[in-house]
């Protein structure tokens, strides 16, 4: 056996053993799903837009952690900021003041629209939404929420109660009461659902897991006006769409809409640390925390490491002009994907998106699944959206190059052809 063969054999042995451990100790069903999608390998290292696996394969990351890797993987400025903080103080005692938390909160107040000013920090998107729910309830003294069909706000009990997909909710009934769902992109239906108990409306400015759905111009400002007129709060869940992803710092900025509460997570950690943030106005903060500043807390929320990553991430987004890059590369990608759609009329229903938050809707879920697998074999990572498996989403790091976008379009075109042919062959048999 050659040295190379022996090396391959030992790395395959390692991969098999890790997959076995997933089967035995993590989640066997998930393990099967990952292998079916063509991801039966182990992540070894990442840099920029590239992921390397234990078998030595290289992939271009066009999923981007569903919005986490906006700056790319291991951006040197974020890594350096985290290293420096790690060497000084990774977690705070929470007795004294913590500088990174103060600085990040100030920066968020500067870049978020209107009079959003105060930040509560947590560790994930779902927690950022949980915090928004509690803040909205205590600030308004009302109990109920209106959410959108097809929405995704997380899977903790509170955020799940707002998530518009029965499949995830039904096994956990009864949910938190007082949540009604209305069609996305329909201000009239939302108005009809408001009652005297409604505390807030929660909306993703671009629906992510629902299948990358961009609402009509005027929808978000319509919701804003409705909330103002009826005295209820507007919560913008920008966890996936925020921080330059759609070509603006926040997706609500496209319509100059100022929500009462904004939720952030994913990209805020610069692709290096987990962090969530719930940001609101002075008046709402006073109503929520005025009587009891400890009414809502988190042990790890606002920790120095995560906040150091957040500060560096915001700096990089501005210094590297990532909003503009998202718009330019987004145009290139959507144009290329539409070319493929034209040539494959029978398979692809729609190509849509904003900036580098793009979805392709297939006629059939099976073709989408096989396409993802075929793209993986061509060295491109893609994924479907959680609430709509007929949609493959493209959310690469915003630093992706024009050449890499072209590679993705080419691989996508070839993969759709392959998937359609494979399914036709199966139907013929």
Q: Distance between CA atoms of 319 and 270, rounded to whole angstroms?
A: 14
| Length of the chain, in residues | 429
Q: Answer positive or negative: Cα dihedral of 373, 346, 246, 181.
A: negative
Paired residues of 45 in beta bridges: 52
Nearest CA to 204 out of 266, 280, 153, 267 is that of: 153
Q: How many Å separate Cα 86 from the centre of its chain?
A: 26
List the x/- string, 98-127, binding to ligand PLP by CB under 6 A.
Answer: --------------------------xxx-
Q: Distance between CA atoms of 6 and 1, rounded to whole angstroms?
A: 6
Q: Is 271 in the site for ligand PLP (CB under 6 A)?
A: no
Site for ligand PLP (CB under 6 A): which residue of 122, 147, 185, 240? 240
Nearer to ligand PLP, 276 or 336 (CB): 276
Distance in Å, CB of 159 to ligand PLP, minimum: 6
Q: Is 355 in the site for ligand PLP (CB under 6 A)?
A: no
Distance in Å, CB of 213 to ligand PLP, minimum: 12
Nearer to ligand PLP, 129 or 420 (CB): 129
Which tokens in the block code for residue 378? 């061509």
Site for ligand PLP (CB under 6 A): which residue of 41, 130, 204, 404? 204
Residues 241-270 binding ligand PLP (CB under 6 A) are 265
Q: Number of residues in contact with ligand PLP, rule: CB under 6 A?
A: 15
Decide if 62 contacts 371 (C-beta within 8 A).
Answer: no
Site for ligand PLP (CB under 6 A): which residue of 129, 223, 314, 372? 129
Site for ligand PLP (CB under 6 A): which residue of 66, 145, 181, 285? 66
Site for ligand PLP (CB under 6 A): which residue of 208, 211, 330, 397? 208
Which residues does 318 contact at the CB level (< 8 Å), separation at least 6?
A: none
Q: Is 152 in the site for ligand PLP (CB under 6 A)?
A: yes
Which residues does 35 contact at the CB level (< 8 Å), separation at least 6?
A: 19
Q: Is 398 in the site for ligand PLP (CB under 6 A)?
A: no
Q: Distance between CA atoms of 336 and 231, rounded to whole angstroms?
A: 44
Q: Is 154 in the site for ligand PLP (CB under 6 A)?
A: yes
How does DSSP assign 218-264, residue by residue? THHHHHHHHHHHHT-EEEEE-TTTTTTTTSSSSGGGGGT---SEEEE
Question: For strand 348-354 and strand 276-280, is the pairing parallel, antiparallel, or unpaired?
Answer: unpaired
* Segment contacting ligand PLP by CB under 6 A, of 47-55, 147-155, 244-252, 349-357: 147-155
Distance in Å, CB of 313 to ligand PLP, minimum: 15
Distance in Å, CB of 218 to ligand PLP, minimum: 21
Which residues does 197 contact at the CB level (< 8 Å), separation at least 6?
A: 142, 143, 144, 178
Distance in Å, CB of 108 to ligand PLP, minimum: 17
Residue at shortest CB range from ligand PLP: 125
Which residues does 126 contact at the CB level (< 8 Å), separation at least 6?
A: 153, 154, 155, 156, 159, 276
Nearer to ligand PLP, 208 or 259 (CB): 208
* Segment contacting ligand PLP by CB under 6 A, of 204-212, 217-225, 361-369, 421-429: 204-212
Distance in Å, CB of 86 to ligand PLP, minimum: 22
Question: For strand 383-385 and strand 118-122, is the pairing parallel, antiparallel, or unpaired?
Answer: unpaired
List the x/- string, 209-238, binding to ligand PLP by CB under 6 A.
Answer: x---------------------------x-
Q: 365-377 vs 402-428: helix axis angle to the nearest 10?
A: 130
Site for ligand PLP (CB under 6 A): which residue of 148, 239, 308, 340? 239
Nearest CA to 143 out of 180, 187, 190, 188 is that of: 180
Distance in Å, CB of 263 to ligand PLP, minimum: 7
Give residues in contact with ligand PLP (CB under 6 A). Answer: 66, 124-126, 129, 152-154, 204, 208-209, 237, 239-240, 265
């Amino acid at each position: 056996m050659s040295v190379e063969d022996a090396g391959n054999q030992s790395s395959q042995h390692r991969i098999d053993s890790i997959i076995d451990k997933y089967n035995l100790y993590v989640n066997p069903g998930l393990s099967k799903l990952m292998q079916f999608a063509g991801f039966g390998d182990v992540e070894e290292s990442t840099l920029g837009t590239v992921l390397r696996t234990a078998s030595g394969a290289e992939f271009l990351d066009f999923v981007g952690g569903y919005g986490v890797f906006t700056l790319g993987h291991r951006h040197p400025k974020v890594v350096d900021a985290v290293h420096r903080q790690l060497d000084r103080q990774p977690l705070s005692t929470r007795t004294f003041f913590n500088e990174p938390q103060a600085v990040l909160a100030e920066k968020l107040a500067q870049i978020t629209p209107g009079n959003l000013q105060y930040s509560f920090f947590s560790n994930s998107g779902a927690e950022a939404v949980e915090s928004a729910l509690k803040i909205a309830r205590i600030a308004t003294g009302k109990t109920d929420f209106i959410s959108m069909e097809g929405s995704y706000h997380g899977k903790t009990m509170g955020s799940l109660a707002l998530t518009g997909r029965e499949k995830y909710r039904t096994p956990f009934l009864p949910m938190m009461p007082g949540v009604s769902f209305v069609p996305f992109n329909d201000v009239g239906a939302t108005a009809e659902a408001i009652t005297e108990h409604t505390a807030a409306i929660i909306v993703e400015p671009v629906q992510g897991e629902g299948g990358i759905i961009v609402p009509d111009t005027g929808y978000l400002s319509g919701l804003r006006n409705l909330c103002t007129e009826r005295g209820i709060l507007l919560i913008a869940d920008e966890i996936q769409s925020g921080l330059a992803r759609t070509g603006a710092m926040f997706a609500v900025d496209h319509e100059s809409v100022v929500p009462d509460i904004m939720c952030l997570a994913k990209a805020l950690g610069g692709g290096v640390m987990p962090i969530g943030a719930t940001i609101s106005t002075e008046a709402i903060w006073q109503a929520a925390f005025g009587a009891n500043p400890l009414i809502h807390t988190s042990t790890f929320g606002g920790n120095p490491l995560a906040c150091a990553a957040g500060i560096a991430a915001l700096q990089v987004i501005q210094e590297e002009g990532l909003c503009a890059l998202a718009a330019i590369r987004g145009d290139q990608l959507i144009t290329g994907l539409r070319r493929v759609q034209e040539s494959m009329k029978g398979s692809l229903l729609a190509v849509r998106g904003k900036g580098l938050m793009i979805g392709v809707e297939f006629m059939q879920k099976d073709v989408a699944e096989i396409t993802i697998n075929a793209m993986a074999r061509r060295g491109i990572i893609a994924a479907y959206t959680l609430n709509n498996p007929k949609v493959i989403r493209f959310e690469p790091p915003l630093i992706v190059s024009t050449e890499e976008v072209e590679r993705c379009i080419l691989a996508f075109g070839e993969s759709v052809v392959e998937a359609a042919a494979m399914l036709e062959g199966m139907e013929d048999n």
